[in-house]
Structure 1
Amino acid sequence: MEESEILRLNVGGHIYTTTRSTLVRYPDSMLGVMFKGDIPSKVDQDGNFFIDRDGQMFRYILNFCRSGKLCLPQHFSDYDLLENEADFYQIQPLITSIISSRQQKDNMEAHYIDIVEVKTQNVFDYKDENISSDEYFTSTSVYGSILDLRTLPLGAVDRFLETRPGSNYGKLVINGRFTKIRMSEMLSSRGWIKENCDSSSSSNVTTDSVFMTQTLRETWKNGKKTGLQTMEESEILRLNVGGHIYTTTRSTLVRYPDSMLGVMFKGDIPSRVDQDGNFFIDRDGQMFRYILNFCRSGKLCLPQHFSDYDLLENEADFYQIEPLITSLTSSRQHAMKENLEVHYIEIVEVRTGTTATMPSKNSRVKTILLGRKEDLLSLPSTLVGEEAAERLECKNGSNYVELEIFGSNVRIQLADFLSNSGWVNENSDLSSSSSLTKGQDTSILCIEQSYRDRWKIYKQK
């Protein structure tokens, strides 16, 4: 076999052209063993060497064999799938490079700074009949994390810095011309990259003048398995899934014999073909990529910020691949924990009265709400009172606050509102206590009853 021989490969339906010397660059890898002739190779109907793996990921595998370097796009996120493919091909330097690249990306955190320059100009004065006055007022606001803003060489930064209690972000407000230009030059010299730039304009007509306002915005960014597998000796099939063409083997499709694919391609039910002779499945073609890769490797590999869980679950339910359904449920729960946080509201109703009044409407009722300020502010004023928002806004220093409300049936009305808003009652309990108060002639038994409800909801971080 000549190492300079040019070969064509069909990898999961993607056609690649390369040389044998490139494929055997790492002789102990799967590709090295295959194309040295140590194990037999399958060919498709066009004479291309066939490999039943993900075709898109093979681009990175082949480029690594060509250059010895791992070159990935800037926002690459399919590390799980690429690691899975590299594990199959057993190219150890590639596996090491992928792990290193992933660790570097995990340790990087993108920082952003927004520069907003607002120019206001009086372009026409009705009284003086002056047109196109060159005089204009310029104000520049710089938004970003407090730590990033304080690293800017602006002298007394805190003199311009505006922040909100409990927030890590703030803004600088600086008046004067050319501030945006100076800030842009400063960020560029410090390694920041301009990611976006846009402008808008508006006008305002008063009884005396016409004012033109131009807004310029710039966004700057600163970042900081082992064992060879043998090829399956099985028939090569082409599938048309919702217009997307895939190439695979029958053994891959029947890996889970009780699934819909297993039943279809074992021949238990008739299969439809399109005009080109491809087996046709009228389902979502993009989602089938994840289905087929699971049949190939037994692993669910999703992009880092995958969000189409509803659609993929629907497809997995159709194909009835139980291990995939289980893996998908686990993956979704893990993603939810990473992207969601739990919020709680506690409602404590305290009723105080005597044996003669408990638990009638004559008893004194106080309701105490405990939770995040933002959650309590979202409650309707008809239930918590018109002055509740003002009372809550005065409570600074903590995201968790307490609000007292007087009146009967508040707890029940709040329960109806929270339930209709997606909150779930996690726990409810009742406690009571009594005390004896002595009067001049008689003793009065005072009773206090406390009802406590704990409500929960998941929200995006």
Structure 2
Amino acid sequence: MSKRERESAIKMSLDDIISLDVGGTRFDTTRQTLVKDPNSMLARMFDPASKMKPGLLRNGAYFLDRDPEWFRTILNYLRNGVLLAETQKELLALLTESRYFGLTDLEQEVTARLEEESSPQTSSPPAGSSDIIKLNVGGKIFQTTKSTICKYPSSRIAQLVQGIFKQTLDSEGNIFIDEDPRDFEYILRALRNANGYPTTVPKETIDNVINLRDNLEIREIKFGYREKSDSYVSEYFLSVCR
């Protein structure tokens, strides 16, 4: 089979209709929808080019041992890119499900919603009292809030922002941190996450991220990675506590 023929076969197979049995509820969708997030477990299960097996086929549907109530929301998100969830209960459940399925875009959106929910609603702040700050980490500018960075007041990064430690400023007056910005992205994501939830980090990066966490003395935050396997039922989230 030529390269063009293989590409055509893959394209055609992406239009296949896939039936799923999620916790006893049947869902019909297309393969294209299931592989929307290429790094997710669903993509690895149903991508025609993937070596991972989809799992148990029961009565013409692939069985997933998850709650169908939350999977319906996940499937709609993959279909149209819109997160249809409002309550904290829904968001917390979807945070768990998005981490299980490795849907990083959904996880980030849910985390942002939860952060908005937990932030105190106040009237417009007086001039000059904005909580928004910019950090220059290894040449990349990150914009966040002081309350996020100072979530753990005893951490080194919180004391740096508060001026307890000597600050180094760039030419724009932003606090400069001489670290790898790719690793800092995960530190900031963990600070934004709800307490008690490990933040997903690629396995090949996790040692660097944990070293940076320790350098910044934010040992309260936890990281984990997804252990890949040939069967979706044995893929799981590992909490890293060091």
With the shorter chain as reference, the TM-score category is 0.3 to 0.5
Structure with the larger strand share: 1
Report the TM-score, using the length of structure 1 for normalisation: 0.25
Report the TM-score, using the length of structure 2 for normalisation: 0.44
